[in-house]
Amino acid sequence: MQEKTDMRRTGIFITFEGPDGAGKTTQIRLLAEKISASGKSCMLTREPGGTAISDRIRALLLDSSCEEMAPSTEALLYAASRAQHVHEKIRPALDAGSIVLCDRYIDASIAYQAAGLGLPVEWVRRWSIEATGGLWPDRTYLIDVDFEIGQERIAGRGAAGLDRIEQRSRAYHQQVRETFLQIAKENPERVCLINGMQSMEDIAFQIWDDWCFYYLKRG
Ligand code: TYD
């Protein structure tokens, strides 16, 4: 299905995606710092979450005691969190002309809920389209890592433990990764695929280079 964004907004909407442990959070922060330093208005946010209501939905989604959550409940909760986030934060910032950087968005639902949990892609896509009024990113940085490296990085974070999604099997995470790669292949005009198995500096350099080129080309 073709991606189509409404054209009313004036800002630029950038998302970061990738398997768990890809290093998105570091890279999105670095890009936000550089964009801000170049004098442009920039807002950094994340999913699930980004607003008080969305953060409450996030807590439920990542709670490892919610084992019995049905796949469609999970997908609808991600869409609900996204609806509030777009309504309260992302769309107003775009309408005000900001560059919005969001850590995960619709592609994550396609990879983690549709492909990963076996829900029909069209449902998951439709729920997010309805939730966001058809707001698609202008550019997406997809940082790809294999399962082992992703796991090592998560372990190295020293966090309290794995959340409900991170705890899923290797086969699940491999399916997620393959789906992200497929999304990149199907949307070459939007998705910039980055090899996340390089150094942090090399990845940051490639993202900055692509961003400068994209921004200039957009005019
Ligand atoms: P988070 O701690 O933010 O992980 P990460 O830094 O790797 O993004 O938790 C977000 C988790 O939610 C992550 O495992 C991916 C998952 N997720 C989905 O399954 N579907 C979605 O639509 C989104 C936005 C995230």
Q: Is the pLDDT of residue 2 over 90?
A: no
Average pLDDT of the chain, as a whole number: 94
Give me the pLDDT at residue 128, please: 97
Minimum-distance ligand 1 atom for the alpha carbon of 22 = 7
Indicate the DSSP class of residue 121: H
- Enter the pTM of the model: 0.95
Rounded mean pLDDT, 55-71: 96
- Residues 93-111 as b/e (b if ≥16 CB within 10 A, e otherwise) read bbeeebbbbbbbbbbbbbb
Give me the pLDDT at residue 161, please: 81
Question: Does the CB atom of residue 74 touch ligand 1 within 6 A?
Answer: no
pLDDT tens, residue by residue, 83-136: 999 999 999 999 999 999 999 999 999 999 999 999 999 999 999 999 999 999
Question: Does the CB atom of residue 16 touch ligand 1 within 6 A?
Answer: no
Minimum-distance ligand 1 atom for the alpha carbon of 112 = 19
Question: Does the CB atom of residue 144 touch ligand 1 within 6 A?
Answer: no
For a substitution probing ligand 1, which of 47, 60, 90, 104 has the most ligand atoms within 8 Å of its CB?
A: 104
pLDDT tens, residue by residue, 170-203: 999 999 999 999 999 999 999 999 999 999 999 9
CA angle 191, 187, 167 (to 5 degrees): 65
Question: Does the CB atom of residue 55 touch ligand 1 within 6 A?
Answer: no
CA of residue 18 to ligand 1 center, whole Å: 9
Rounded mean pLDDT, 47-72: 96
Question: Does the CB atom of residue 108 touch ligand 1 within 6 A?
Answer: yes
Give me the pLDDT at residue 3, please: 62
- The number of beta carbons lying within 10 Å of the beta carbon of residue 121 is 14
Q: Is the pLDDT of residue 156 over 90?
A: no
Q: Grade residue 73 by pLDDT with cuts at 50, 70 and 90.
A: very high
Rounded mean pLDDT, 56-82: 97
CA of residue 47 to ligand 1 center, whole Å: 7
Question: Does the CB atom of residue 107 touch ligand 1 within 6 A?
Answer: no
Q: Is the pLDDT of residue 7 over 70?
A: no
